[in-house]
């Protein structure tokens, strides 16, 4: 007698896209942003170490799963690269490597030892930086030469590949004290400034296109609305970068440049954090609007984590260099939001993995209503 199964087959990794690396980024930043706060307590340190270990484990699992995806489903992987909505997420691979590396040095050193933490961070920083530079050049090239982008196709996810070098610029300074004194350390500092500059200028090219799309074509589709928070990434990460570089520059580069680096960290960081708060208010209003119109959970909810965490580390850096309690309070408040956002995104993702829904083939997008109709509903 034959037996018929009534349960549907469990989905595999065929539809596991590069956007899943956002779960690693969002988890690692919870640990490293917490360590950047001035609050110190053994219980908090234990919590940060547990989250760091979870991020490191998630990275290993995803690297294996994505390698399997490429080996068994190369056609789907190439389809992802040809899709302008998916290809920018390849920048998340670089940022996941960098984020786990940075958290290993700032948090995991108490678990694995300083020597092992420095070695792991060095390997992950170099690998992540090389991949990030490749993504920052290759993905825009594909957007220009291969992808077909509609007039209303500009998206905040375009920032993902170009912001990866900014993550390298923010996390590279932590390795400076572990390099040989002299040329090595100085080259690292100036190299991180170069990474900062290339990412910042690329961001300034993309942001106007994103805002122009919002103004001329209306709000993003409901499922994509959380991606508006991605704009905080280059803002918070660049503020973090200049503050970390200001610390690394002391005793590494010539005194006039070291003093200028500290001044630049404050004079650049304060206005940029101000703009980040303005954008956070705008994005929050758009997210609330989307919730009221029935926005459900999607992997885009992870956009609420890493970009917000970069604002925490940026505000914490400004608190170090200005001594203002207001920046400490801002960093602490943003961190509380980060923890809540991470807990919600992680819980919903775990539930979706258990049910298998998040690994299923994406459903066709509903037809888009004309803008006039959208505005009047």
pLDDT in tens, 111-132: 999 999 999 999 999 999 999 9
Quick check: pTM over 0.85? Answer: yes
239 Cβ partners below 8 Å, 6+ apart?
A: 268, 269, 272, 273, 276, 310, 311, 314, 315, 317, 318
Domain membership of residue 337 (yes or no) is yes
Residue 126 CB-half CA count within 13 A? 5
The stretch 88-101 carries a mean pLDDT of: 97
289 Cβ partners below 8 Å, 6+ apart?
A: 219, 225
Domain membership of residue 367 (yes or no) is no
- Rounded to the nearest 10 degrees, the angle between the axes of helix 159-171 and helix 183-217 is 150
Domain membership of residue 314 (yes or no) is yes
> Per-residue pLDDT tens for 32-44?
999 999 888 889 9
The stretch 300-314 carries a mean pLDDT of: 97
Q: Please report the pLDDT score of residue 364 as a whole number.
A: 52
**CA distances to 259, 322, 326 from 263, in Å:** 6, 10, 19
For the chain, the domain total comes to: 1
Mean pLDDT of the chain: 91
233 in Cβ contact with 308 (< 8 Å): no
Q: What percent of the chain has pLDDT over 90?
A: 81
> What is the pLDDT confidence band of residue 334, given thresholds at 50, 70 and 90?
very high
Residue of higher predicted confidence among 152 and 20: 20
> Per-residue pLDDT tens for 71-90?
898 888 888 888 888 999 99
182: left (phi over 0), alpha (psi -120 to 50) or beta: left
> What is the pLDDT confidence band of residue 299, given thresholds at 50, 70 and 90?
very high
- pLDDT over 90 at 140, yes or no: yes
> Per-residue pLDDT tens for 98-114?
999 999 999 999 999 99
Domain membership of residue 105 (yes or no) is yes
Strand, coil or helix: 12: coil
Q: What kind and span of H or E run contains 43?
A: helix 42-72
Residue 76, judged by CB atoms within 10 A of its CB (0-12, 13-18, 19+), counts as middle
**CA distances to 52, 290, 304, 321 from 334, in Å:** 19, 22, 11, 19
Token pair in block for residue 42: 């053994």
> What is the pLDDT confidence band of residue 177, given thresholds at 50, 70 and 90?
very high
> What is the pLDDT confidence band of residue 322, given thresholds at 50, 70 and 90?
very high
- pLDDT over 60 at 241, yes or no: yes
- pLDDT over 70 at 9, yes or no: no
Residue 11, judged by CB atoms within 10 A of its CB (0-12, 13-18, 19+), counts as middle
Domain membership of residue 374 (yes or no) is no
Domain residue limits at 90: 18-358
Helix (H), strand (E) counts: the chain: 13, 0
Domain membership of residue 373 (yes or no) is no
- pLDDT over 50 at 239, yes or no: yes
Domain membership of residue 363 (yes or no) is no
53 in Cβ contact with 330 (< 8 Å): no
Q: Please report the pLDDT score of residue 69 as a whole number.
A: 87
- pLDDT over 70 at 369, yes or no: no
Indicate which CATH number applies to the domain containing 140.
1.50.10.150
> What is the pLDDT confidence band of residue 367, given thresholds at 50, 70 and 90?
very low
CA distance 349 to 218: 29
> Per-residue pLDDT tens for 51-77?
999 999 999 999 999 999 898 988 888
- pLDDT over 80 at 363, yes or no: no
The stretch 196-214 carries a mean pLDDT of: 96
CA distance 324 to 76: 51
Domain membership of residue 135 (yes or no) is yes
The stretch 295-301 carries a mean pLDDT of: 94
Q: Which of 66, 65, 64, 31 is nearest to 47 (CA)?
A: 31
CA distance 145 to 125: 30
CA distance 218 to 375: 8
């Amino acid at each position: 007698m034959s037996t018929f199964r009534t349960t549907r087959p469990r989905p595999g990794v065929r539809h596991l896209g590069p956007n899943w690396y956002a779960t690693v980024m969002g988890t690692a930043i919870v640990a490293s942003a917490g360590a950047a706060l001035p609050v110190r307590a053994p219980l908090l340190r234990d919590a940060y170490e547990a989250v760091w270990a979870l991020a490191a484990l998630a990275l290993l699992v995803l690297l294996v799963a994505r390698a399997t995806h490429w080996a068994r489903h190369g056609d789907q992987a190439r389809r992802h690269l040809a899709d302008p909505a998916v290809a920018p997420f390849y920048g998340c691979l670089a940022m996941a490597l960098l984020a786990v590396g940075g958290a290993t040095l700032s948090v995991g050193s108490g678990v694995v030892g300083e020597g092992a933490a420095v070695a792991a961070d060095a390997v992950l920083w170099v690998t992540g930086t090389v991949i990030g530079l490749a993504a920052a050049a290759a993905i825009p090239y594909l957007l220009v030469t291969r992808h077909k982008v509609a007039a209303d196709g500009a998206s905040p996810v375009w920032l993902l590949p170009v912001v990866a070098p900014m993550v390298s610029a923010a996390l590279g300074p932590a390795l400076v004290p572990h390099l040989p004194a002299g040329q090595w350390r100085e080259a690292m500092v100036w190299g991180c400034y170069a990474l900062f500059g290339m990412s910042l200028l690329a961001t300034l090219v993309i942001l106007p296109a994103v805002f122009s799309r919002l103004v001329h074509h209306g709000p993003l589709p409901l499922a994509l609305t959380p991606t508006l928070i991605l704009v905080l990434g280059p803002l918070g990460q660049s503020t973090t970068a200049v503050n970390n570089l200001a610390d690394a520059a002391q005793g590494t580069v010539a005194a006039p440049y070291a003093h200028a680096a500290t001044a630049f960290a404050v004079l650049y960081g304060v206005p940029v954090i101000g703009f980040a708060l303005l954008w956070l208010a705008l994005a929050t209003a758009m997210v609330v609007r989307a919730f009221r119109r029935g926005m459900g959970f999607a992997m885009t909810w992870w956009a609420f984590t890493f970009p917000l965490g970069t604002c925490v580390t940026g505000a914490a850096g400004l608190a170090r260099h200005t001594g203002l309690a207001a920046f400490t309070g801002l960093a602490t408040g943003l961190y509380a939001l980060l923890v809540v956002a991470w807990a919600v995104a992680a819980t919903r993702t775990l539930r979706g993995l258990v049910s298998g829904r998040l690994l299923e083939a994406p459903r066709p997008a509903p037809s888009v209503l004309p803008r006039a109709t959208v505005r009047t509903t």
